[in-house]
Copies of this chain bind each other. A is one copy, B any other.
Amino acid sequence: MYAVEVRDHIMIAHSFPSPLFGPAQGVHGATFTVDAAFFADDIDEHGLVVDIGLAIDALAQVLEPLRYKNLDDESQFKGIFTTTEFLSGHIFRALADKVRNGDLKDANRVRRLRITLHESHLARGWFEAEI
User: What is the predominant secondary structure among interface residues of chain A facing chain B?
Assistant: mixed
A11 contacts B30, C-beta separation under 8 Å: yes
**Chain B residues near A127 (CB-CB < 8 A):** 1-3
Kindly list chain B residues whose C-beta atoms are within 8 Å of the C-beta of A119: 11, 31
Q: Considering only CB atoms, which chain B residue lies closest to A127 in the complex? A: B2
Contact B29 A14 (CB under 8 A): yes
Query: Would A2 and B89 count as touching, CB distance under 8 A?
Result: yes
13 contacts between A and B (CB under 8 A): A2-B89, A5-B124, A5-B125, A5-B126, A11-B28, A31-B31, A31-B119, A31-B120, A43-B85, A43-B89, A47-B82, A48-B81, A121-B121
A residues at B contact (CB < 8 Å): 1-7, 9, 11-14, 16, 18, 20-33, 43, 46-49, 51-53, 56, 67-70, 73, 80-86, 88-89, 119-129
